[in-house]
Amino acid sequence: MEAKRRIVLVPVPAQGHVTPMMQLGKALYSEGFSITVVEGHFNQVSSSSQHFPGFQFVTIKESLPESEFERLGGIEFMIKLNKTSEASFKDCISQLLQQQGNDIACIIYDEFMYFCGAAAKEFKLPSVIFNSTSATNQVSRYVVGKLNAEKFLVDMEDPEMQDKVVENLYPLRYKDLPISEMGPLDRVFELCREVGNKRTASGVIINTVSCLESSSLSWLQQEVRIPVSPLGPLHMTASPPSSLLEEDRSCIEWLNKQKPRSVIYISVGTLGQMETKEVLEMAWGLCNSNQPFLWVIRAGSILGINGIDSLPDEFNKMVSERGYIVKRAPQIEVLGHPAVGGFWSHCGWNSTLESIGEGVPMICRPFHGEQKLNAMYIERVWRIGFQVEGKVDRGEVEKAVKRLIVDDEGAGMRERALVLKEKLKASVKNGGASYDALNELVKYLKTK
Ligand code: UDP
């Protein structure tokens, strides 16, 4: 019997999840697989389908409008989306099987789109789960999924429990588990349990590299009992990622005029938001540091106002001296530019991998749980950056920028980041760990 050739990809409709999954799609496409992307009605990848020639895009019936995200909040939205999408996804797979003459080798779904598990089971199709965050984040979710919400709240009143290291996974402590501020604890725990349930999946893909997270990966491997494939960073494996949004390339010309390793690049990702007051403090601090800066300020990234035009004149005056602002930067190219000396980041996992992949040290300003885990690793495990905690204050911003770009301490962080960069490059090359993991996956898929 001829091997099946079609892979169905089901991403979460958010840039940080879509980008690595589509990178995997490109890698599999170049191995001869056909790719079908199943999506809902918002943040559609198909809107930038020109970047994915040969891919098929299928939209499933809308089960929850995007507006519900605001009303329900992220946790409740995901739980409900999964409950309401199961039937339309089954219909979609049934139709695809008819159209394609049963040619589906595997469904690869984002861990948050766990409704796919039911269709895989019903149609007896192989499935693999895709994780776009760190292995340590998966570990934390497993740990959380096993806890009892009420008991946990009581236990966490004890400072000794808060500081306790989780199951030999130094430096991860109970108080670092990514659950704070995300929603009512019992609902967070429920989502963690659902995401942790591997259903009938035959493997787990993680966009990470074994040299960055070996202890978390071994822990996970023991726990999930199906193959775990750390095959990242995917942005270094396949052709360069394609953004769903337009990037402002004029910043590259501006970078060309700056001195080597002098610029601090600032981005809080595709979702992060700052208060106007914080933005002004940042601007003061950046100016006082005397270092040039490239700053991404999205239309919605300042709370309560629509873009920088509504900021006081004071802001423009400060920025025009030594700064450059864009709504969206070609981030990987920026990080790889010789003028960039550091990255002020919210520490999303993609940004973290991209910074390490270019050997750029970081100032960490995480917003929530998962980003805090990444920041902890950046500061304490890889020692390629440090966190700025507390209120954003111009003095602290100035100090942080100087510490990273000018001081010897920052030079040490850069050296370590450059060492890691080489390790990452080696891991995606022929014979490297991520290269082998991707090859294994391809081999497995070709037997289906
Ligand atoms: N990004 C970009 N240009 C920007 C801001 C962000 O290309 O101006 C990309 C960045 O390279 C990364 C992604 O958007 O791949 C952000 O993902 P991450 O996981 O870091 O954070 P999230 O947005 O999911 O919080």
**From 250, 270, 293, 327, mutation site for ligand 1 pocket: most ligand atoms within 8 A of C-beta:** 270
Peptide bond into 171 cis (omega under 30): yes
Residue in the block written with tokens 């990702």: 269
Q: Are residues 120 and 262 in the same domain?
A: no
**From 245, 267, 294, mutation site for ligand 1 pocket: most ligand atoms within 8 A of C-beta:** 267
Ligand 1 centroid to Cα of residue 295, in Å, is 13
Q: What local confidence, expressed as pLDDT, does residue 315 receive?
A: 87
Q: What local confidence, expressed as pLDDT, does residue 205 receive?
A: 98
Q: What is the pLDDT along the chain (448 residues), one digit of tens a residue?
A: 566 799 999 999 888 999 999 999 999 999 999 999 999 888 888 888 888 999 999 999 877 888 888 899 889 999 999 999 999 999 999 999 999 788 899 999 999 999 999 999 999 999 999 999 999 999 998 888 888 888 888 888 999 999 999 887 889 888 888 876 667 888 888 999 999 999 999 999 999 999 999 999 999 999 999 999 999 999 998 776 666 678 999 999 999 999 999 999 999 999 899 999 999 999 999 999 999 999 999 988 999 887 788 888 888 888 888 999 999 999 999 999 999 999 999 999 999 999 999 999 999 999 988 999 999 999 999 999 999 999 999 999 999 999 999 999 999 999 999 999 999 999 999 999 999 999 999 999 998 8
Q: Are residues 232 and 114 in the same domain?
A: yes
Whichever domain contains 280, its CATH number is 3.40.50.2000
Q: What is the pTM of this model?
A: 0.95
Cα distance between residue 294 and residue 252, in whole Å:
10
Nearest atom within ligand 1 for CA of residue 19: 15
Ligand 1 centroid to Cα of residue 46, in Å, is 19
Ligand 1 centroid to Cα of residue 38, in Å, is 22
CA atoms within 13 A on the CB side of 360: 33
Ligand 1 centroid to Cα of residue 372, in Å, is 16
Q: Are residues 299 and 218 in the same domain?
A: no
Q: Are residues 188 and 296 in the same domain?
A: no
Report the alpha-carbon angle 405-407-408, nearest 5.
115
Q: What local confidence, expressed as pLDDT, does residue 282 receive?
A: 95
Q: What local confidence, expressed as pLDDT, does residue 308 receive?
A: 84
Q: Is residue 413 part of a domain?
A: no
- The SS3 of residue 108 is strand
Q: What local confidence, expressed as pLDDT, does residue 241 receive?
A: 65
CA atoms within 13 A on the CB side of 216: 28
Judged on CB neighbours under 10 Å (0-12, 13-18, 19+), 101 is exposed
Ligand 1 centroid to Cα of residue 17, in Å, is 10
Q: Is residue 21 part of a domain?
A: yes
**Residues of the domain holding 293:** 250-406
Q: Are residues 233 and 347 in the same domain?
A: no
- The SS3 of residue 417 is helix
Q: Is residue 415 part of a domain?
A: no
Pocket of ligand 1 (CB under 6 A): 15-16, 19, 243, 267, 269-271, 296, 328-329, 331-332, 348-351, 354
Q: Are residues 260 and 227 in the same domain?
A: no
Peptide bond into 230 cis (omega under 30): no
Q: What's the maximum distance between 2 C-alpha atoms anywhere in the chain?
A: 70
> Closest by alpha carbon to 174, among 146, 143, 205, 151?
143
Q: Are residues 286 and 346 in the same domain?
A: yes
Ligand 1 centroid to Cα of residue 448, in Å, is 34
Ligand 1 centroid to Cα of residue 269, in Å, is 4
Show Cβ contacts of residue 159 under 8 Å, excluding neighbours closer than 6 positions.
none
Q: Is residue 416 part of a domain?
A: no
Q: Are residues 192 and 309 in the same domain?
A: no
Cα distance between residue 401 and residue 77, in whole Å:
38
Nearest atom within ligand 1 for CA of residue 348: 20
Cα distance between residue 343 and residue 350, in whole Å:
13
Q: Is residue 421 part of a domain?
A: no
Beta strands in 236-383, from DSSP E residues, in sequence order = 263-267, 293-296, 323-326, 340-345, 362-364
Q: Is residue 419 part of a domain?
A: no
> Closest by alpha carbon to 331, among 45, 16, 28, 72?
16
Q: Is residue 155 part of a domain?
A: yes
2 close to 32: Cβ distance less than 8 angstroms: no
Residue 229, H or E segment: strand 228-230
Q: Is residue 422 part of a domain?
A: no
Task: Give the chain's domain count.
Answer: 2
